């Protein structure tokens, strides 16, 4: 967070009152410098609902704080890869970062529990868990073990589908030996090893070129990501596996956030949570609407029998392995919403 001190504000005013416009700052108009400048970074394009809602949220925060808080939105990995942005928010170089549970698992193991394969059958289960005891458990683990915290309302990414340039995935055996890009995530890697695929962790910013140059055959993401990042330009098949529900925890640096006066903390937190709930509606609607559009762009779609894939993971010991890794308390909270998984 960048805080305008009283001294440099007076200096700015005196310069400006001499008729100079300082750095685009024109005092005496509505554009006085904000007292607190906050940086929010993410890895998705400006056109994704995440950034559409983030820009709207930034405007609301500026208006409600009467210009005291400016939230700057850095989309599309402008500030680096997920790994870079995670380091930056941990150090306080940026104030907020939206990170998927799968990638959060590299820092807080329990953070990835909502990414267990074929766990949530529908969005009723997803939001009951994420807004309920499972989400509360994850947020508690984050706050207890890092310099970060997560806002209450998790944002949405969607159900993940598999795209490839070589073959459709109709049954679990089709994954055998497939070079598949996954996010830098122990859980995602383990999931596709359970299908005997060859998962490769690649930061999101490098996925398009990895697909284009055939370093990997395929990747897996919700349709809204596949569409806004234009993966359909370098992929041929899209198999509707719905293998993982993926979200985005809106993470904040504790020390940075606590520098805000309490009234501004309330404005920022409330607007972030409200934007997250609106973004959920947008993402689900977009994901539900894109099949026809992407077929028109050349992607060949197929449905799959989820139970065949879930049974393959069971026989591979995936659920047993991750029950042990997460422990009985967290796993019990997961199954409270999903029902028995193994």
Give the residue with the Cβ less far from ligand X2X, 36 or 232: 232
Give the residue with the Cβ less far from ligand X2X, 207 or 264: 207
Q: What's the rounded Cα separation, in Å, for the pair 182 and 199? A: 6
**Chain CA centroid to CA 57, Å:** 17
Q: Give which of 99, 44, 65 is closest to 270, Cα–Cα.
A: 65
Give the residue with the Cβ less far from ligand X2X, 221 or 271: 221
Return the structure tokens found at 332: 């019990």
54, 173, 189, 257, 287 from 68: Cα distances, Å = 18, 57, 44, 14, 36
Compute the least distance from the CB of residue 86 to ligand X2X, in Å: 11
Compute the least distance from the CB of residue 203 to ligand X2X, in Å: 7
Beta carbons within 10 angstroms of residue 194's beta carbon: 23
Compute the least distance from the CB of residue 43 to ligand X2X, in Å: 5
Give the residue with the Cβ less far from ligand X2X, 146 or 157: 157
The answer to whether 124 and 67 are in contact (CB under 8 A) is no
Give the residue with the Cβ less far from ligand X2X, 43 or 141: 43
Supply the DSSP symbol for 152: S
Give the H or E element holding residue 62.
Answer: helix 49-64
Return the structure tokens found at 197: 């695929």
Compute the least distance from the CB of residue 222 to ligand X2X, in Å: 7
Beta carbons within 10 angstroms of residue 178's beta carbon: 20
How do beta strands 155-159 and 300-303 pair?
unpaired
Three-state SS sequence of 134-163: HHHHHHHHHHHHCCEEECCCCEEEEECEEE
Q: What's the rounded Cα separation, in Å, for the pair 316 and 192? A: 11
Give the residue with the Cβ less far from ligand X2X, 189 or 221: 221
Give the residue with the Cβ less far from ligand X2X, 221 or 227: 221
Q: What's the rounded Cα separation, in Å, for the pair 71 and 58? A: 5
Compute the least distance from the CB of residue 63 to ligand X2X, in Å: 30
Compute the least distance from the CB of residue 246 to ligand X2X, in Å: 6
Q: What's the rounded Cα separation, in Å, for the pair 222 and 244? A: 9
Q: What's the rounded Cα separation, in Å, for the pair 121 and 142? A: 26
Compute the least distance from the CB of residue 185 to ligand X2X, in Å: 7
Give the residue with the Cβ less far from ligand X2X, 180 or 260: 180
Compute the least distance from the CB of residue 328 to ligand X2X, in Å: 27
Instruction: Name the residues that contact ligand X2X, by CB under 6 A.
Output: 43, 100, 102-103, 157, 183, 204, 221, 225, 246
Return the structure tokens found at 244: 């993982």
Compute the least distance from the CB of residue 282 to ligand X2X, in Å: 16
Give the residue with the Cβ less far from ligand X2X, 16 or 73: 73
């Amino acid at each position: 967070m960048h805080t305008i001190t009283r001294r440099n504000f007076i200096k700015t005013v005196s310069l400006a009152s001499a008729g100079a416009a300082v750095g685009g700052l024109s005092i005496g108009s509505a554009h006085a410098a904000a007292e607190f400048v906050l940086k929010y970074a993410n890895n998705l394009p400006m056109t994704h609902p995440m950034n559409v809602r983030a820009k709207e949220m930034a405007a609301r925060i500026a208006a409600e704080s009467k210009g005291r808080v400016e939230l700057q939105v850095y989309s599309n990995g402008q500030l680096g890869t997920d790994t870079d942005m995670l380091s930056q928010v941990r150090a306080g170089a940026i104030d907020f970062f939206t990170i998927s549970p799968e990638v959060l698992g590299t820092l807080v193991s329990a953070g990835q529990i909502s990414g267990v394969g074929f766990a949530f059958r529908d969005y009723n289960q997803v939001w009951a868990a994420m807004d309920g005891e499972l989400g509360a458990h994850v947020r508690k683990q984050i706050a207890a073990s890092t310099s970060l915290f997560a806002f209450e309302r998790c944002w949405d990414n969607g159900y993940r589908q598999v795209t490839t340039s070589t073959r459709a995935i109709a049954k679990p055996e089709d994954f055998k030996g497939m070079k598949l890009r996954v996010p830098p995530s122990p859980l995602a890697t383990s999931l596709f090893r359970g299908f005997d695929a060859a998962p490769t962790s690649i930061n999101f910013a490098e996925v398009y070129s990895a697909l284009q140059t055939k370093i990997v055959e395929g990747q897996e993401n919700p349709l809204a990501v596949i569409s806004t990042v234009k993966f359909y330009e370098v992929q041929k098949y899209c198999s509707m596996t719905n293998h993982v529900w993926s979200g985005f925890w809106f993470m904040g640096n504790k020390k940075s956030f606590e520098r805000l006066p309490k009234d501004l903390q309330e404005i920022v937190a409330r607007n972030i949570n409200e934007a997250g709930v609106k973004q959920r509606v947008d993402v689900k609607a977009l994901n539900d609407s894109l099949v026809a559009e992407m077929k028109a762009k050349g992607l060949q779609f197929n449905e799959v029998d989820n139970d065949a894939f879930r049974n393959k993971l069971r026989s591979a010991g995936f659920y047993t392995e991750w029950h042990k890794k997460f422990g009985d308390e967290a796993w019990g909270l997961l199954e409270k919403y999903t029902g028995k998984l193994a």
